[in-house]
Chains A and B, each alone.
Chain A
Amino acid sequence: MILAILTISLMAGFFGLILGYAAIRFKVEGNPIVDRIDALLPQTQCGQCTYAGCRPYAEAIANGEAPINQCPPGGAATIVALADLLEVEALEANDEHGEHHEIPLVAIIDEQTCIGCTLCIQACPVDAILGSAKHMHTVITDECTGCELCLPPCPVDCIDMIPVRQTIDDWKWTAPKARPDLAHEY
């Protein structure tokens, strides 16, 4: 009897320790699922998903209010990553929300035409446009996410979207293909 009590108390103590350790070791803060969804979104902040940025969309997904296929900049890769994280089926991209560009786009301002109205600066979600009232504006290409939000406000239509300049460093190797019908030497 005493032995049984002792064993059980010892076991209880032991498991308590494990649980206590696990609580510290695997401690989570904030709203982890929203953070983890947000981490997978491309942060273009374009609003094509119908939400006011990537984080609101992440919140909507976490609350089960939105399907995972509404982010055109993320494309299929983001859908697969989200499906993996949430353990749901990967959906086809919903192209009602927009088109995915294999090579991302960036905004470019025709500096000759710009009248310096500052409207695009107010629209840019990541402060990637530089300029001041009545002076020419320009886009900091490296910071531009290609969200296209600066296009509609421009009164003189002088902003264009162009594909990001690809350099030799952006080049990727391509995989060969296996063909089961090919005989090997063995």
Chain B
Amino acid sequence: MNTKAWSIKLHPMYGGLQLEDHKTGSLTQGLQQASLPPQLLLPLKQHIGVTNKALVRPGDRVLRGQLIADSSSPISSPLHAPTSGWIREIAAHPVPHPSWQSDTCIVIDVDGKDEVLPSHAVDTQNLSVTKFIKLIHDAGIVGLGGASFPTSPKISRGDNLGIETLIINGVECEPYITCDDILMQTYTDEVINGIAWLQRILKPASTLIGIEDNKPEAIKAMKQALSAGNLDNTHVVDIPTIYPSGGEKQLIQILTGKEIPKAKLAFDIGLFCQNVGTCAAISRALDQNQPLISRIVTLSGDGIRQPGNWEVRLGTPISHLIELAGGYLDNQARRHLVMGGPMMGFSLSGDQVPIVKASNNILIMQQQTIPQAPGDHAECIRCSRCADVCPAQLLPQQLYWHARAGAYDKTEEFNLFDCIECGCCSTVCPSEIPLVQYYRTAKSEIRAAQQAKFKSDRARIRFEFREKRLLLRKQQEEERRRLKREALKKKIPQVLNDDSVIDPVQAALARVKAKKQEQPVANPPKNTTNLSAAQQRQIKEADARRRTAHEQRA
């Protein structure tokens, strides 16, 4: 470890906002362990990518850590039983999703024994990159910062690319959320061990752990852990508190001054970014042989009695957590639930939905802060405040006009897909236009059109292939007929010109005649001759039965 004073020059981020952070409420007490609820609801899909298939059936008994759903796609993440119990059903239940729709969930009746699946320890000595990636995948690890993109494909793309800087994201810039803060204070060693694993695999020249300066306790804990000197060239960098410095591109900009070129990824410029929660999950998977079955969730907002952080098994209904936290502040008041923070989160259909891998925060507000479907709004007055705060250097006003007009190709020209949906623009808009909602609409329309295009391209290929096949078959058939005709043509004149050869028609007739004459003189024996006395009797009896039956019917 370098004992010399280490310093780094920070770079400014574009745009952004100073927000009231509302973080003290949930930090008044340390991490608490949530009890097991009677039932867990596990949506089959808790990641970005391909949906899992259930590997269990109703009535099965499962143990903690047992694989219960998986997919063969690399862009997916398997699911494990968070505790022991019995599978009640695999059915549609409300899930945390902006659509408020239901999705297929595995429902486990918890037996309370929390019995672990016996597993053999993984050999982590001389771990190859491929093996590491497989272990990470098999442990069901996804980005725990909120995006829930499977971690293994992210690492496999960084493989052998000569990572210059590994960036660990401990920024957590959205108001109210404190789960990463508590994690760094409570599970410091796991975070450090997870970073050590990433360093062994990616071999970065240096590692920067970015933490916002409103988390002094976490910074202290992490710095102290680093002072043990187990990690080479690794530094905690406290960065100014400004929203959204926790965005991957924004954090990279602040720490390195580098911008990721359009249509490139961080590792294309020698960088790799991981969230602190994901690091801890990697350590649990490799050092403790434990798949991702729980996470830390912040309960916050002005509508909950005791805000705080809870380590929760995946699938725990939010209502169970709220009960543990003393319940709603005002049971009569209309309350409003949001998953994620007030800037990027989405409203929930109710408290019966479960905690999933992406649930970093449950915001419980007395007033509706984020409606599910924003209603009407006033007109844009072209003040361009939105452009001033956009951290992605976009022109939100132009995006808005084009998205509103349905000119989605134009929105793409204005780099719609660089929008990180941070909500800075909507926040400052004096007309209170739900700008992000427009961008999300445009993005989902464009994605749907891409999917339709993909499908129609496939249909075209299949159609053309079929046409070709039919044509080929027709040609082959014609060719076969032609050859036959030719062969016949060759044969017939030969026959006619040569007297020694008999006409084929005559020959065939002669063959038939010969066969008829060959008929045997004596009739062959019947199957009723040479029978024993017993057999004869059986036949007589059967005949008698038949006769009586006939007479009766008559």
B448 and A176 contact, CB distance less than 8 A = no
Q: How far is the CB of B110 from chain A (nearest CB, A)?
A: 25
- Interface contact A180-B379, CB-CB below 8 Å: yes
Is there contact, CB below 8 Å, between A186 and B99? no
Supply 14 further A-B pairs (C-beta < 8 A) apart from A168-B97, A177-B376: A42-B452, A43-B455, A125-B466, A169-B45, A170-B448, A171-B444, A172-B445, A173-B441, A176-B437, A178-B378, A178-B404, A179-B377, A184-B378, A184-B432
- Among A172, A174, A175, A183, residue most surrounded by chain B Cβ atoms (within 10 Å): A175
Of A127, A167, A171, the contact of B462 (CB 8 Å cutoff): A127
Check A45 for interface membership: any CB of B closer than 8 A. Answer: yes
Contact size range, A: 20 to 34
Q: Does A49 contact B (CB under 8 A)?
A: no
| Contact of B379 (CB < 8 Å), options: A43, A167, A184 | A184
Q: Which of B99, B373, B460 contacts A168 (CB 8 A)?
A: B99
Q: Nearest 5 A-B pairs (CB), nearest first? A: A43-B456, A184-B378, A43-B459, A182-B378, A184-B431
A38: CB under 8 A from chain B?
Answer: yes
- CB pair B463–A178 under 8 Å, yes or no, is no
Q: Is the CB of B459 within 8 A of A174?
A: no
Residues of A within 8 Å of B458, CB to CB, are 143
9 contacts between A and B (CB under 8 A): A171-B444, A172-B448, A174-B373, A175-B403, A177-B376, A178-B378, A180-B378, A184-B431, A186-B430
| Residues on the A chain within 8 Å of B375, using CB | 176-177
Asked if B383 and A186 sit within 8 Å, CB to CB, the answer is: yes
B residues touching A (Cβ–Cβ < 8 Å)?
45, 51, 95, 97-99, 101-103, 373-381, 383, 403-404, 430-434, 437-438, 440-441, 443-445, 448, 452, 455-460, 462-463, 465-466
In the complex, which of the residues A167, A172, A176, A179 has the most CB atoms of chain B within 10 Å of its own CB atom? A176
Verify A173–B437 contact, CB threshold 8 A: yes
Q: Which residues of A contact B465 (CB under 8 A)?
A: 127
Give the residues in chain A near B51, CB-CB below 8 Å: 167, 169
Residues of B within 8 A of A180 (CB): 378-379
State how many angstroms separate the Cβ of B378 from the closest Cβ of chain A. Answer: 4
Residue interface mask A143-185, B partner, CB < 8 A = 1 = 1010000000000000000000001111111111111101111
Considering only CB atoms, which chain A residue lies closest to B439 in the complex?
A173
Distance A38 CA – B377 CA, assembled complex (angstroms): 40
Residues of B within 8 A of A53 (CB): 463
B444 touches A178 (CB 8 A): no
Q: How far is the CB of B27 from chain A (nearest CB, A)?
A: 33
Contact A171 B99 (CB under 8 A): yes
- Cα–Cα, bound, A182→B430 (Å): 12
Q: List the B side residues contacting A184 at CB < 8 Å.
A: 378-379, 381, 430-432
Residues in B whose Cβ lies below 8 Å from that of A54: 460, 463
- Report chain B residues within 8 Å CB of A45: 459, 463
Complex: A184 Cα to B430 Cα, angstroms:
6
B435 (CB) vs chain A CBs: closest residue: A176
Are B441 and A168 in contact, with the CB atoms below 8 A? no
Of B101, B378, B441, B463, which one neighbours A126 at CB under 8 angstroms?
A: B463
Determine whether A118 belongs to the interface, using a CB cutoff of 8 Å to chain B. no
Whether B432 pairs with A185 at a CB distance below 8 angstroms is yes
**A128 cross-chain contacts in B, Cβ below 8 A:** 462
A172–B430 touching, CB < 8 Å: no
Interface string of A58-98 (1 = CB under 8 A from B): 00000000000000000000000000000000000000000
CB distance from A72 to the nearest CB of B (A): 15
State whether the Cβ of A44 lies closer than 8 Å to any Cβ in chain B.
yes
